[in-house]
Amino acid sequence: MLDCRGPRLPRVLHWGRPLPHASDADLSALALASLPATVPNSLDTPASVAVVPEPATGWFGLPGVLGHRDGRHWSPLFETEHVGVHDRGAGEGGEVAVLASDAGCGLSLELRLDLTAVGVLRMRAVLRNTASGWYTLDGLVMALPVPAEATELLDFTGRWSRERDPQRRAFSAGAHVRDGRRGRTGSDASFVLVAGEKGFGFRSGQVWGVHVGWSGNHRTYAERLPTGDSVVGGGELLQSGEVRLAPGASYETPWVYAAHGDGLDEMAARFHRLVRTGRGGRRPVIVNTWEAVYFDHDLGRLTALVDAAAEVGAERFVLDDGWFRGRRDDRAGLGDWFVDEARWPEGLHPLVERVRARGMDFGLWVEPEMVNPDSDLARAHPDWIMATECRQPPSSRHQQVLDLRRREAYEYILERLDALVREYRIAFLKWDHNRDLVDAGVHEQTRAVYRLMDELRARHPGLEIESCSSGGARVDLGILERTDRVWASDCIDGIERQAIQRWTALLLPPELIGSHVGSARAHTTGRTQSLALRAGTALFGHFGIEWDLTAASGEERAELRRWVQLYKRMRGWLHRGLVVRADHPDPALWLHGIVSADREQALFSVVAMATGARTQPGRVRIPGLDPHRRYHVRPLAPGDSPGTTAVTPNPWLAEGVVVTGRMLAEVGLSAPPLHPEQLLLLHVTKA
């Protein structure tokens, strides 16, 4: 609920549970009731924070606008000139557009607040320089108030192969500021910043979450003043002097997304419905070649892998790094986007033809934003490497950043990608981005990458793109406006992936999270795990395979084929369903699942992440089902025989059990005492 009365910028009266029957009189009363008292040693008129916080109103927190005009006009106070309201109708949300200005500072501000039909709020601002001189903008963030009941914060950090690692803390006085300065979203990005009631979990406690939909430098923050006023917000993080507005020029912020929920699951469900809007289509089973062959590209070996992929039921074959000129390792070749004639004298055509003959479409790995100094491109155009005026940044992974702000570099990359997609009728690009940007012009580079993807998609409407960035270092709703899925992590160790996917799903629905079955011994951790754990983890994402299937035994391939068949049988409803996660007192035992949209069936996974604290794990509650329906719950093959310490199994496991949805949610079922790193699949069907 917004208060747009008076000359000041809108302020939020309420952000939380719906108030569906509130009348105009109720809203007016709420506005009056929300005004604070005047207290000693404070402003005569208490400050109220707007969606773009203004110090000139007496707000002592982070300013919404940071900037100046040659040391002046650093504290604008906007006066609203027009408020436009577009009500889409009951249950469809609505939009408020506000135009405000500060004539003295020579600035105008346009605000767009879009409450989507799924209950997610999108906010964006446009700042325009209306004066005759230049204006330097150092930052523009948007913020939303949260109530005093929000006493805890959850956000994320991480590193390569351990992305989206949760961290919780008290929401106390001061600012909790998470700045991403890596030139991409980052493995350590705050991802979603959540303020919530004490002890909130997946199924309990009110939560208020924000996400900045931007793939470059960004800021997400939570702030509580001694007055008790508290906000969460964010925006793009601008470098000094990166945005200077000429007379009449403007700057537009990325979208800032916000959602409320009773528990993290309800908040996540709102984000999922938003991201799913306008998306559809089947999610094919992928075989990717990286962990199968690495840089060792040999037509005979790859052809055998194609045949093995078809045998287990794959529908898409993706050729990873190593196919282009001079590429034998990661030290050379980036930028030379031509098929290596020495390795591929007939181009990729023999491989692509074999892929299509076996009933699969073809995908290709690229890293268009990067260049190796050891490449024909860098030797011919050293000025295309992104650098400051006096030096190049330090190399990382033997590569530098290709300056796509330069028209010539941008057009070269667009032409090469376009030519490859056309020649080989490529269905899918694994678009990688393997280094942070150092000493870089991030703002314009990010916009150039967006334009590049948009133009390529416009030329090839059926092309799908995966956002891969050293694994999961570019996962945000800005990149997902022009891509079809993300690679959540380079780590496909089953246990690590359980955690990574658990928290990535706070924002993204499972079908947008690439999840692959690797070899028994994990490439990144060295752990050896059962196929049931590896495949059962991938089942709850966009299922794929990253394994040298030619080295797998016939028994392993047969079991993998059963998992592929299960995915194909269930993906139609899994990829439209509701993600559900239970709060269990033993942190070693996780239960999560997906409930079909009609709530007639569900698939749940019980995972022993480690050894349990007790001999008997006790009951696991299975939430999210219709409380009035009766359901049949039973183990599902091939995930029905995990390792266990039980001498005799739980009696209900043999034939399953029929109970109501309410009993499953409130009482639960006795869980088997699983060995660590074991997974049990449960299929729930309407009885």
Residues 309 and 170 occupy one common structural domain: no
pLDDT of residue 375: 98
pLDDT at 104 over 90: yes
Per-residue confidence at 435, pLDDT binned at 50, 70, 90? Answer: very high
Residue 269 lies in a domain: yes
Q: What is the mean pLDDT of the chain?
A: 96
Cis peptide before 638 (omega within 30 of 0): yes
Residue 219 lies in a domain: yes
Per-residue confidence at 390, pLDDT binned at 50, 70, 90? Answer: confident
pLDDT tens digit string along 625-656? Answer: 999 999 999 999 999 999 999 999 999 999 99
How many folded domains does the chain comprise? 3
Domain boundary among 569, 596, 616: 569
Q: What is the CATH number of the domain that holds 486?
A: 3.20.20.70
Mean pLDDT of 96-117: 97
Mean pLDDT of 160-183: 97
Residue 66 lies in a domain: yes
pLDDT tens digit string along 491-550? Answer: 999 999 999 999 999 999 999 999 999 999 999 999 999 999 999 999 999 999 999 999
Residues 126 and 168 occupy one common structural domain: yes
pLDDT of residue 44: 77
Q: What is the CATH number of the domain that holds 141?
A: 2.70.98.60
Residues 538 and 665 occupy one common structural domain: no
The answer to whether 231 and 225 have CB atoms below 8 angstroms apart is: no
Domain boundary among 513, 544, 569: 569
pLDDT of residue 186: 98
pLDDT at 45 over 80: no
Mean pLDDT of 15-33: 88
Q: Which domain holds residue 646?
A: 580-686
The answer to whether 466 and 475 have CB atoms below 8 angstroms apart is: no
pLDDT of residue 364: 98
pLDDT at 189 over 90: yes
C-alpha angle with apex 194: 190 to 200, nearest 5 degrees?
A: 135
How far, rounded to the nearest angstrom, does the alpha carbon of residue 501 sit from its chain's CA centroid?
10
pLDDT at 36 over 90: no
Mean pLDDT of 215-225: 98
Residues 233 and 361 occupy one common structural domain: no
Ramachandran sector of residue 227 (left: φ over 0; alpha: ψ -120 to 50; beta: rest): alpha
Q: Which residues of 261-286 are buried (b: 16+ CB within 10 A; e: fewer)?
A: bbbbbbbbbbbbbbbbeeeeeebbbb
pLDDT tens digit string along 571-605? Answer: 999 999 999 999 999 999 999 999 999 999 999 99
Domain boundary among 256, 276, 296: 276
Lowest mean pLDDT among 19-23, 84-88, 606-610: 19-23
pLDDT at 659 over 90: yes
From residue 47, alpha-carbon distances to 5, 38, 44, 50, 151 in Å are: 15, 10, 9, 9, 22
Residues 533 and 663 occupy one common structural domain: no
- What is the pTM (predicted TM-score) of this model? 0.97
Residues 20 and 140 occupy one common structural domain: yes
Residue 185 lies in a domain: yes
pLDDT of residue 30: 87
Per-residue confidence at 27, pLDDT binned at 50, 70, 90? Answer: confident
pLDDT of residue 636: 98
Q: In terms of Cα–Cα distance, which of 99, 270, 232, 101 is closest to 155?
A: 232
The C-alpha atoms of residue 63 and residue 50 are separated, in whole angstroms, by 10
Per-residue confidence at 257, pLDDT binned at 50, 70, 90? Answer: very high
Active-site amino acid positions: 432, 490
Q: In terms of Cα–Cα distance, which of 445, 411, 452 is closest to 431?
A: 452
pLDDT at 31 over 90: no
Residue 282 lies in a domain: no
The C-alpha atoms of residue 580 and residue 595 are separated, in whole angstroms, by 7
By the 10 Å C-beta count (0-12 exposed, 13-18 middle, 19+ buried), 378 is classed as buried
Residues 293 and 271 occupy one common structural domain: no
Which residues is 680 bridged to in the sheet? Answer: 606
Q: What is the CATH number of the domain that holds 586?
A: 2.60.40.1180
Please spell the DSSP secondary structure of 499-555, one letter per residue: HHHHHHTTTS-GGGEEEEEE-SB-TTT--B--HHHHHHHHTTSEEEEES-TTTS-HH
Q: Encoding tokens for residue 656?
A: 């399953």
Residues 104 and 146 occupy one common structural domain: yes
pLDDT at 37 over 90: no
pLDDT of residue 646: 92
Q: DSSP class of residue 650? A: -
Please spell the DSSP secondary structure of 115-181, one letter per residue: E-TTS-EEEEEEEEE-SSS-EEEEEE-EEEE--TT--EEEEEEEETTEEEEEEEEE--SEEEEEEE-
The C-alpha atoms of residue 602 and residue 518 are separated, in whole angstroms, by 26
Per-residue confidence at 660, pLDDT binned at 50, 70, 90? Answer: very high
Q: In terms of Cα–Cα distance, which of 274, 226, 225, 256 is closest to 52?
A: 256
Per-residue confidence at 388, pLDDT binned at 50, 70, 90? Answer: confident
Residues 593 and 518 occupy one common structural domain: no
Residue 574 lies in a domain: no
pLDDT of residue 290: 98
Residue 489 lies in a domain: yes
Residues 368 and 430 occupy one common structural domain: yes
Q: In terms of Cα–Cα distance, which of 671, 668, 664, 654 is closest to 685?
A: 664
Residues 643 and 500 occupy one common structural domain: no
Mean pLDDT of 162-169: 98
Residue 575 lies in a domain: no
Q: State the chain's maximal CA–CA distance in angstroms.
A: 83
Residues 37 and 136 occupy one common structural domain: yes
The C-alpha atoms of residue 625 and residue 593 are separated, in whole angstroms, by 11
pLDDT at 24 over 90: no
pLDDT of residue 345: 97
Mean pLDDT of 3-26: 91
